[in-house]
Chains A and B, each alone.
Chain A
Amino acid sequence: MSALTASGRGVVTTDAQRTRKRKAPGAINPIYYVILIALVAFSMGPIVLSLFAALKTQSQLAADPLGLPTSPQWGNFLVAWTQANMAAGFLNSIIIVGGTVIGVSVIAGLAAYAMARLDLPFSGGFMGYLLVSSALPIQLFLVPLFFLWTKLGLYDTQIGLIIIYCATLSPFATLLLRSFMISIPRDFDDAARIDGAGELRVLFRIVLPIAWPGFLTIALITALDAYNEFLLAQTFIQSPDKMPVSIALYSFREGFSQNYVLISAAGWLMLLPMFVLFLILQRRFVDGISASGLTG
């Protein structure tokens, strides 16, 4: 699958984009815009409708489910925030996502460095192992893992979930970082080594400062994956005071199955941080996630 990864990333480059754009045909059929805007409506419509729903009263929502909110009830967000236990959920998510990002950056950073810069023995075999383990479905190891974690006392702990996320998200992060680190000329480290720098110094003073955009990309993808993940969080966290925001929202939904005003408001609160992050870092998001989709 390595060839695919490479071709996938090649596809995301912008050089071809620029040439292509310049040579785009002159006249554009207005029907194109109609279809493209219809697709935008499909993508954004539900999000907008859910915002509208969050701003209505229950009776307004029942009477006019798809219309504009006539008198926006901003207080709904506050009610949802308290009733869905969002404050605790966000705090737990920050711990879980933060721990996962740090863990993955360290684990994948070291492994990628070993593969790209240190002549790792059996490097090809290790690469194959990473590809296979990043392609294995969670369903394969979920059941024994659950009972193993229960035995080890890691079930229903945040550290237990962080370890699982580190394991599932590291292989892809390693492959991505490796390709970043391979592009740094090796003369840099050789020169440093001749000057007497140790391996750790080469890593921290030379490779890390150059490879940091790669780390930023994997941090972003890892954060998004860990924040949005559902199956593992639902399986491995049970106590309400340890739940990340995704599970807090799910429990709230189960408890308030009919109150779509508050459910929509809580959903919007969970959506908002990623939405803002996406608007700020759009390009890095799209390229990073596209690459992650291409390796599976």
Chain B
Amino acid sequence: MTTSKAELVRAARPSARPQARASRMGRRRAIWATAFIVPLLVVNVCVIAGPGLMSVYYSMTDWQGFGPANFIGFANYVRMFGDADFLTALLHNLIWTAIFLVVPMGMALLGAYLLSRLRRFATLFRALYFIPYIVASVVSSTIWSSLLAGSGIGSVIGINFLGNPSTALPAVAVANVWTRWGFLAVIFFAAMQSVNPSLYEASSLDGASTMQQFFHVTLPSIRPTLMFMGLMSVIWSFLVFDWIYIMTQGGPAGSTEVLSTLLYREAFTSQEAGYASAIGVVLALISGVIVGGYQFLRARKGWDI
């Protein structure tokens, strides 16, 4: 306590000393700060940044995962354009993206809007919609596999949705939609809560119907959230792995293969670690371009999205 009093006195004295002291403290604080971010940087570099950069290098080699990695330039990337498996997987990702931009977003908007009109039970409904999102992918895939292929709806109708190449992709998508839509509904609901109520009052006075209010008040007001969730849906759709790997492993006959499952197979079954790395780089580039484009339009062009 004596030292603290002494320091207070010193701090109160108008002289050069407090400044020196402040800068000394500031420097000490900066040293502490640097020390405190070291653990994060170390694990981050070992797991993410280092292997990420290695991926970029290996994507330009013929590496098998063991043995030497010979530099082959962009051959792996050129190979993609002629690889039917790659192009089919990419097509499936695009179909998946289309499904995820329409179905769960639409369901979430509908659910959230109706919730925002409720006076009671909204929190209960919100919780019930959210529950599938906390169900592990391995559990939700299990539940939906048994419903669609094993013991549920599939066996009642007599169709094995997962065993049929023409129904397998949408069938797996159902399981993933089930997981995602409630999360989106919660986000949209939260965004709708912060819409200025006077806008609704004004539009009611002007005689707008519920539908008109939804399209002319609600949607424009939550547009930033809507755009951002759309962007995330596109990225998630390109990275989807769990549901497909667990429910169909990319089959039957490659009908559900996506880039992530193809990457996994090339790396760990076909010993094509170099080519798999190239697919990984492409996936990272796709999400990078989407996020970058969005940020560019928002920050540089000032688009209100």
Which residues of B sit under 8 angstroms from A250, Cβ to Cβ? 138, 246
Q: Of the 9-residue stretches A68-76, A165-173, A210-218, which lies at the interface with chain B?
A: A165-173
- Counting chain A residues whose Cβ lies within 8 A of the other chain, the interface size class is 35 or more
- Cross-chain contact B280 with A143 (CB below 8 angstroms): yes
> Are A290 and B284 in contact, CB atoms less than 8 angstroms apart?
no
The residues of A that contact B117 with a CB separation of less than 8 Å are 24-25, 28, 32
CA distance A160 to B47 in the complex (A): 10
B146 within 8 A of A: yes
Q: Contacts of A234 on B, CB cut-off 8 Å?
A: 245
Interface string of A11-25 (1 = CB under 8 A from B): 111001101110111
A35 contacts across to B, CB distance below 8 A: 110-111, 114
Q: Is B133 an interface residue (CB 8 A)?
A: yes
| Cβ-defined contact, A120 with B34, below 8 A | yes
Q: Which residue of A lies closest to B8 (CB)?
A: A194
Min CB distance B194 to A, Å, is 4
Are B137's CB and A36's CB within 8 A? no
| A202–chain B nearest beta-carbon distance, Å | 10
**A residues in contact with B225, CB < 8 Å:** 7-8, 11
Known: A140-B280, A170-B43, A293-B232. A1 touches B291 (CB 8 A): yes
A141 located at the interface, meaning its Cβ lies under 8 Å from any Cβ of chain B in the complex: yes
CB pair B131–A135 under 8 Å, yes or no, is no
Cβ contacts under 8 Å, B295 to chain A: 1
Interface majority SS (helix, strand, loop, mixed), chain A: helix
Shortest CB-to-CB span from B278 to chain A, Å, is: 10
- Measured CA separation A105–B33 after assembly (Å): 16
Residue in B40, B43, B183 whose beta carbon sits within 8 Å of that of A289 in the complex: B183
> A46 to B151, Cβ gap below 8 A?
no
User: What does the 1/0 interface line of A96-111 toward B look like (CB < 8 Å)?
Assistant: 0000000000111011
Asked whether any CB of chain A lies closer than 8 Å to the CB of B186, the reply is yes
Q: In the bound complex, what is the Cα–Cα distance between A17 and B268 (angstroms)?
A: 50
- CB-nearest residue of chain A to B201: A23
Contacts of A107 in B (CB 8 A): 39-40, 43
A147 to B65, CA, bound (A): 7
Most buried by B among A43, A66, A196, A253: A43
Output the least CB separation between A206 and chain B (Å).
14
Q: Chain B binding site: helix, strand, loop or mixed by DSSP?
A: helix
User: In the complex, what distance in Å separates the CA atom of A210 from the CA atom of B102?
Assistant: 43
Complex-state Cα separation, A46 to B40, whole angstroms: 40
- Asked whether, in the complex, the Cβ of A49 is within 8 Å of the Cβ of B152, the reply is yes
| Docked pose: A106 CA to B36 CA in angstroms | 10
Q: Is the CB of A163 within 8 A of B47?
A: yes
Kindly identify, within residues 222 to 265 of chain A, every residue whose CB is under 8 Å from any CB belonging to chain B.
Answer: 224, 227-228, 230-231, 234-235, 246-247, 249-250, 253, 258, 260, 263-264
Given A44-B128, A65-B156, A137-B284, A167 contacting B33 (CB threshold 8 A): no
Give the residues in chain B near A25, CB-CB below 8 Å: 117, 200, 204
In contact, A66 and B156 (Cβ under 8 angstroms): yes
CB of B151 within 8 A of CB of A44, answer no
Count of A-B residue pairs with CB < 8 Å:
324
Inter-chain CA distance A143–B268, complex, in Å, is 9
Q: Does A118 contact B (CB under 8 A)?
A: yes
Question: Whole-angstrom distance between the alpha carbons of A41 and B260 in the complex?
Answer: 31
**B251 within 8 A of partner (CB):** no
Given A113-B36, A118-B33: A11 touches B191 (CB 8 Å cut-off)? yes
- State which of A106, A114, A267 has its C-beta within 8 Å of the C-beta of B139: A267
Is there an interface contact between A61 and B47, defined as CB atoms closer than 8 Å? Answer: no
The answer to whether A141 touches B138, judged by C-beta atoms less than 8 angstroms apart, is: no
Which chain A residues lie closer than 8 Å to B150 at the CB level?
258, 260
Alpha-carbon separation in the docked complex, A111 to B138 (Å): 33
B232 A228 Cβ-Cβ under 8 A:
no
The B35-58 residues at the A interface (CB cut-off 8 A) are 36-37, 39-40, 43-44, 46-52, 54-55, 58
**Chain A residues engaging chain B, CB cutoff 8 angstroms:** 1, 3-4, 7-8, 10-13, 16-17, 19-21, 23-25, 28-29, 32, 35-36, 39-40, 42-44, 46-47, 49-50, 53, 61-62, 65-66, 106-108, 110-111, 113-115, 118-121, 126, 133, 135-148, 163-164, 166-168, 170-171, 174, 193-196, 199, 224, 227-228, 230-231, 234-235, 246-247, 249-250, 253, 258, 260, 263-264, 267, 270-271, 274-275, 278, 282, 285-286, 289-290, 293-294, 296
Residues in B lying within 8 Å of A, measured CB to CB:
1, 3-4, 7-8, 11, 25-26, 28-30, 32-34, 36-37, 39-40, 43-44, 46-52, 54-55, 58, 65-66, 107, 110-111, 114-119, 122, 125-140, 142-147, 150-153, 155-156, 178, 182-183, 185-187, 190-191, 193-195, 197, 200-201, 204, 210, 224-225, 228, 232, 235, 239, 241-242, 245-246, 259-260, 263, 267-268, 273, 276-277, 279-281, 283-284, 287-288, 291, 295, 298
